[in-house]
């Protein structure tokens, strides 16, 4: 478990670097969401960030994305999300499977991630996560193992209004698409859809 916490701490540190980075380039703006990109320092690929506002409190938004059942019901890109290990209230291991995309051109994926929650970072609430290799959780039949690099959801109140939230999704993953440039074309639209799912999801809590 100590190794789990060391790994999670490294993901938290990396996510904070990305949160405060200023070298993002806008690549898509749609339906109230702006998506940015920059080269990743974690793998030979691109990291994306989506920013948008939500008419709900940061606490409610965090509850939606951090609860596996609520998240899976909200996120149209997820087939299933299961907690496979719990260390404490804010520190778990999740297994997530996704549906096929583009008529099967992109196979269903199987992710195993260590996930932490921090409610004390500069008036923000953050759920940070990334890949963890566990021999007892091998890739399932019919899926391809996806690798998540340090990623996060962040939520903070807008101008002190407790019922309005500025949200950001920071995401980077090697989902082994060939040719690799497809992920750069797909991810902005995927993040816009996810932002819409979160806005819709908080109204059902």
Q: What is the pLDDT of residues 121-138, one digit of tens each?
A: 778 999 999 999 999 999
- Note the pLDDT tens digit of each residue in 73-109: 999 999 999 999 999 889 999 999 998 876 666 788 9
In the chain, % of residues over pLDDT 70: 92
Residue 194 CA: distances (Å) to CA of 18, 44, 107, 152, 169: 19, 24, 19, 13, 9
Tens digit of each residue's pLDDT (9 = 90 or more) over 180-202: 666 667 889 999 999 999 999 99
Cβ neighbors of 153 (< 8 A, separation 6 or more) are 61, 62, 65, 126, 127, 167, 168, 169, 170
Total domains present in the chain: 1
> What is the model's pTM?
0.93
Burial of 155-166, coded b for 16+ CB within 10 Å and e otherwise, reads bbbeeeeeeebb
pLDDT band at 52 (very low <50, low <70, confident <90, very high): very high
Predicted local distance difference test score (pLDDT) of residue 63: 96
d(CA 150, CA 19): 11
CA distances for 160 relative to 5, 33, 34, 72, 132, angstroms: 32, 21, 22, 30, 36
CATH number at residue 114: 3.30.530.20
Q: Which domain holds residue 121?
A: 2-202
Count of beta carbons in the 10 Å neighbourhood of residue 41: 13
């Amino acid at each position: 478990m100590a190794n789990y916490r060391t790994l999670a701490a490294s993901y938290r540190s990396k996510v904070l670097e990305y949160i405060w980075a200023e070298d993002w380039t806008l690549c898509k703006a749609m339906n109230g969401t702006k998506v940015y990109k920059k080269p990743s320092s974690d793998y030979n690929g691109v990291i994306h960030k989506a920013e948008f506002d939500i008419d709900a409190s940061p606490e409610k938004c965090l509850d939606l994305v951090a609860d596996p059942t609520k998240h899976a019901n909200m996120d149209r890109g997820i087939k299933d999300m299961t907690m496979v290990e719990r260390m404490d209230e804010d520190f778990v291991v999740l297994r997530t499977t996704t549906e096929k995309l583009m008529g099967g051109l992109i196979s269903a994926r199987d992710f195993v991630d260590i996930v932490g929650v921090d409610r004390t970072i500069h008036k923000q609430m953050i759920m940070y996560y990334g890949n963890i290799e566990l021999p007892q959780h091998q890739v399932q039949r019919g899926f391809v193992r996806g690798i998540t690099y340090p990623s996060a959801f962040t939520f903070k109140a807008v101008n002190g209004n407790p019922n309005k939230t500025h949200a950001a999704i920071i995401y980077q993953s090697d989902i082994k698409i060939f040719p690799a440039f497809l992920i750069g074309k797909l991810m902005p639209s995927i993040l816009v859809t996810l932002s819409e799912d979160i806005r819709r999801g908080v109204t059902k809590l």
